[in-house]
Amino acid sequence: MSKAPKPHILVVEDDEDILELVLYNLKKEGYLLTSAMTGEKALQCVEEDPPNLMLLDLMLPELDGLKVCRRLKRDPETASIPIVMLTAKGEESDIIAGLEMGADDYITKPFSPRVLIARIRAVLRRHRRGMASEEAVLTFDDLTIHPGRHEVVYKGDAIDLTYSEFAILHLLARRPGWVFTRYRIVDAIRGEHYAVTERAVDVQIAGLRKKLGDAGEYIKTVRGVGYKFVDQEVVGV
């Protein structure tokens, strides 16, 4: 039986040293690689040979990474391509903008090659698995989330959650490791243009964690960005 081919990754980075470092480490992992140093070239590469994942630097000349991300996510033909953003530390506004456009994850510079590879693996794994059915029962060790019954059980005990608390937990748990900004959380559970502040989301999360007790550790704060649900597959990633 022949092995499945390794995923094809498009690396978009205009710093030659960083590009060389990334390509070297990904090549060692056996990934099929294509590279581009400009946004326009990246879009051309996607059109010619769509990758399984794009590693996208935000600070590109002329057509920057955010614009590349926006174009790809607005096009039905390319919207499903996972995008991991590369960003300099402190660019919280760019990180939030990219995630709200549909980017799957981000990595801050400087970064460890081991962390880079682990994060790429996690995104590819989530993409292969796909988003869980809205009615699927989710189980994480002693925590079970049953959307059909609107029920959460931890170590055999039922946990009484409000509508919003359950909706937030279910949203995060359906995509472990996926980073959600506060406004993406609001849009997903209430619909677009629902009037709410970032503080309101934080209050909901605080109440949810308190009710979950030890299981509240599944919900991690991504400083300056939002929240994510972390299961054993992505702990430390």
Q: 46-103 pLDDT, tens per residue?
A: 999 999 999 999 999 889 999 999 999 888 889 889 999 998 866 778 888 888 888 8
Share of the chain above pLDDT 90, in %: 51
Residue ranges of the chain assigned to CATH 1.10.10.10: 138-229
For residue 184, give the H/E element and its range: helix 182-190
Q: 7-18 pLDDT, tens per residue?
A: 999 999 999 999
| 3-class DSSP assignment, residue 81 | coil
3.40.1350.10, 1.10.10.10, 1.10.3720.10, 3.30.2290.10: which CATH number matches 138-229? 1.10.10.10
Give the architecture-level CATH label for domain 8-129.
Answer: 3-Layer(aba) Sandwich (3.40)
Q: Is the pLDDT of residue 145 over 60?
A: yes
Sign of CA dihedral 124, 126, 131, 132: positive
Sequence-distant (≥ 6) Cβ neighbours of residue 35 within 8 angstroms = 10, 11, 12, 13, 19, 23
Identity of residue 102:
G
Residue ranges of the chain assigned to CATH 3.40.50.2300: 8-129
Give which of 23, 16, 12 is closest to 46, Cα–Cα: 12
CA–CA gap between residue 95 and residue 66 (Å, rounded): 9
Residue 3 pLDDT grade (very low, low, confident, very high; cuts 50, 70, 90): low
Q: Is the pLDDT of residue 177 over 90?
A: no
Q: Are strands 83-88 and 53-57 parallel, antiparallel or unpaired?
A: parallel
Tell me if 8 sits within 8 A of 31, measured CB to CB.
yes
Q: What is the mean pLDDT of residues 12-41?
A: 96
| 3-class DSSP assignment, residue 64 | coil
Residue 1 pLDDT grade (very low, low, confident, very high; cuts 50, 70, 90): very low
Tell me if 67 sits within 8 A of 42, measured CB to CB.
no
CA–CA gap between residue 106 and residue 114 (Å, rounded): 15
Question: Can you read off the two tokens belonging to residue 80?
Answer: 């499903």
CA–CA gap between residue 157 and residue 145 (Å, rounded): 12
User: Greater confidence, 168 or 130?
Assistant: 168
Kindly report the pTM of this predicted structure: 0.67
pLDDT at 157: 94
Bridge partners (DSSP) listed for residue 220? 228
